[in-house]
Amino acid sequence: MSASSPARPIRKVAIIGASGKLGQYMVQHCLDRGWEVVGVCREESVSKLDRFAGRITVHPGMTNDRAVIREAVKGCDGVLVVLAPWGVQQYSSGTAQAVLDFAEPDARLVFSCGWHITMDGEDRYSLAFRLFVSFFGFIGWLTRFAELSDQVEATNRVFASDRRWTVVRGSDLEEGESEGLPVWSHHVHDPILASNLTRRIDFAAFMVHALTDDGLIGEAPAIVSCQSASARAYRPRLAG
């Protein structure tokens, strides 16, 4: 089924990477909406979801394990995917591909990543940002700790698919109480994003919100806190 298919109401959601910080917030947001939740996380991380015991179904396994994903996404109206670049095992692209292959035909698919991902190549980055990404990418590759290029591969596969997808690009993150749903822009260099900071709980809320916002299908919103200085300064201008 293609991106133009009629919207499917959300009743059951799979969260791929549910035990992480972002994942746990997304679990809570989905339960708050009264949705049935299925989580996938590594075997050793299942206990991180203990506080949700009896309220969610957990499928232990690596998120790029195709058999685990195939089972977890069955019957789900939405799939929230934490794309993590850890290790050198095609973790992000394997995860994304499994979701693209096995999610229900008309399910809403929402993937997380950072600002370094660009959909159309039109994002303009500061020198400091580019140096940081290059440094982290090199050190990650050298130590075999992380493979940033595989996260790029993962999102490229999503961008090329005809699924009902959204790729949410997070700014720098911090912990704390919710400040409200983040604002977003198509491009990282938009001044509304200059503050480059979002509460993780609100990043999660935006991911969950995207499941029911069909205006975000086929978009890669770059987000920032709605309470940040740049959002406050530029929102009125954009609204006008």
Ligand X SMILES: NC(=O)c1ccc[n+]([C@@H]2O[C@H](COP(=O)([O-])OP(=O)(O)OC[C@H]3O[C@@H](n4cnc5c(N)ncnc54)[C@H](OP(=O)(O)O)[C@@H]3O)[C@@H](O)[C@H]2O)c1
Question: CA-to-CA distance for 5 and 82, rounded, in angstroms?
Answer: 25
d(CA 150, CA 162): 20
Task: Report H helices in 19-103.
Answer: 21-32, 66-72, 91-102
Among 8, 33, 48, 157, the residue binding ligand X under the rule CB under 6 A is 48
Residue nearest to ligand X (CB): 20
Helix H or strand E encompassing 38: strand 36-41
Q: Does 86 bind ligand X (CB under 6 A)?
A: yes
CB contact at 8 A, 52 and 63: no
Binding residue for ligand X, selected from 22, 37, 99, 158, defined by CB under 6 A:
22
Angle (CA) 149-152-153 rounded to 5° is 90
Q: Is there binding between residue 157 and ligand X (CB under 6 A)?
A: no
Q: Indicate which single residue of 12, 14, 15, 17 sits in contact with ligand X (rule: CB under 6 A).
A: 17
x/- mask, ligand X, residues 172-211, rule CB under 6 A, reads: xx--------------------------x-----------
Give the nearer residue to ligand X in terms of CB position, either 42 or 187: 42
Question: Taken in order 223, 74, 61, 29, is the CA torsion positive or negative?
Answer: positive
Binding span for ligand X by CB under 6 A among 15-23, 72-80, 181-189, 226-234: 15-23
In angstroms, what is the minimal distance from the CB of 133 to ligand X? 11
- Listed ranges 69-77, 154-162, 165-173, 180-188: which one lies at the site for ligand X (CB under 6 A): 165-173
Q: What share of the chain is helix, strand, coil (3-state, %, to 5)?
A: 40, 20, 40
- Cβ contact 162:2 at 8 Å: yes
Write each residue from 98 to 127 as x if it is in contact with ligand X (CB under 6 A), else as -, in one continuous string: --------------xxx-------------
CA atoms within 13 A on the CB side of 234: 17
Site for ligand X, rule CB under 6 A: 17, 19-23, 41-42, 45, 48, 82-84, 86-87, 91, 112-114, 170, 172-173, 200
